[in-house]
Each structure stands twice: as structure tokens, then as C-alpha cells.
Amino acid sequence: MVVVVVVVVVVVVVVVVVVVVVVVVVVVGGGGGGDGGGVIVAVEVVVVVVVVEAVVILVAEVIVVIVVVVKVVVKVEVVGGVEAVVAVVVVVVVVVVVVVVVVVVVVVVVVVGVVVVVVVVVVEVVVVVVVVVVVVVVVVVVVVVVVVEVVVVVVLEVVVVVVVVVVVVVVVVEVVVVVVVVVVVVVVVVVVVVVVVVVVVVVEEVVVFVVAVVFVVEVVFVVNVVVVAVAVVLVPA
């Protein structure tokens, strides 16, 4: 009967401890933020719970051993003889088995706790390394983007300056061409006008001279005709 009670007590204690652990993990995990503190605390709590369970089991087994020893002692006192020796041997065997089981449980608990802690530490280190690598990559990408933007802006400014210079040169060339064309046209017009005027004047002078010569020739011819006629009339036949 005592063994049954001890087992029930152990089961109840384990259930209560598990419930408490779940509540603590939920609360701590929810308030731990994004830095991994909640996870670390939760893992530590789990390790502590495992150790507590091992201690509870150890205490329960000790109680069971005590109960068995008491029963055996009582039986030895009542029965005596060979049965007493057998009872003592049984007690010793039970004690040895209990001690072995306790040692194995403690070793397993310690090993599991160490393994869990090591795994958690390794995972944290890997996460930190990954985060650092991601941050470095992001910084490099940002720097490259900024440099590219600066280069693009400088190139665009140079292109704008070149375009402005080209436009100014084109405008200046157009103005010079227009001025040259206007000057050439004016000079040509002036030369043509002067040439035409000179030609007209010369032609007029030539015409006047020719008319005068013709007139003189005609006058001379008329005078000669008159002289001849007078001579013919006046000279006797």
C-alpha cells in the first residue's frame, strides 16, 4: 500500500512540475523578445526540471527501499532462520538495484542536460554567425548601391554639361553662319548694284557719244551736200 502511495505521489509531482515548466516556458518565451533570451531561459528551466524529476524519483525510490527494508526487518524478526537470511539478501539486492538505477538516472540526466546546453550554445553561435554574415552582406550591398548611385549622378551631370556645351557651340556656329551669309549677300548685292550702275552709266555715255558722232556725221554730210549743190549751181557749165 505504501509503495502505491509513493508511486502516486511521484506521478502527481512530475505532472505538477511539467505544468509549471510549460507555464514558465510560455511566459519567458513570450517576453524574451527577439534576442534569444527567452529560448535560453526556457532551455535552462527544462534542464532544471529534468534534474528535479530525477531527484524526486530518487527520493521516491529511497522511500520504497526504506519501506521494503522495514518490511523485511519485521519479517526477519517474526520468521527468523533461513527466511531471515533470504530476506536480508533480498534487501541487499534491492538496495544495490536501487542504487544502480539511481546512478544511471542521474548520469543520464546530467548527460542529457549537458548535451542540451551544448546544442543550445552551438545553435546560438550559428545563429549569431548567420546574423553577422547577413548584416555584412546587407552593408556591402548598401555601399555598392550608394557608390553606383553616385557614379550615375556624376555621369549624368557630365552628360548634361557636354550637351549644354554642344548646344552653345551649335548656336554660336549658327549665328556666325547667319552673319557670314548676311554679309556675303549684302556685299554681293552692293557689288551687283554698283556694277549695274556703272554699266548703265557707261552705256549711256557710249550711246550719247555715238549719237553725237552720228549727228556730226550727218551734219557734215548735209554740209557737203549743200556745198556740192551750191557749187553745181554756181559754177557755169
pLDDT at position 63 is 72
What is the mean pLDDT of each successive set of 10 residues along the chain, which is 237 residues long? Answer: 61 68 60 53 63 68 69 62 66 72 72 74 85 92 93 94 95 95 95 94 91 90 85 71
- Give this prediction's pTM: 0.38
Domain boundaries, position 84:
2-126
CA distance linking residue 106 with residue 63, whole number of Å? 17
CA distance linking residue 48 with residue 26, whole number of Å? 16
What is the number of other CB atoms lying within 10 angstroms of the CB of residue 228?
10
Domains contained in the chain, number: 1
DSSP one-letter string for 8-20:
HHHHHHHHHHHHH
Indicate whether 111 belongs to any domain. yes
Indicate whether 180 belongs to any domain. no
Indicate whether 144 belongs to any domain. no
Indicate whether 160 belongs to any domain. no
Indicate whether 31 belongs to any domain. yes
Indicate whether 170 belongs to any domain. no
Indicate whether 140 belongs to any domain. no
pLDDT at position 112 is 77
- Predicted confidence (pLDDT) per residue in 12-44, tens digit: 776 676 667 666 655 655 555 445 555 556 556
Indicate whether 196 belongs to any domain. no
pLDDT at position 120 is 78
CA distance linking residue 22 with residue 20, whole number of Å? 5
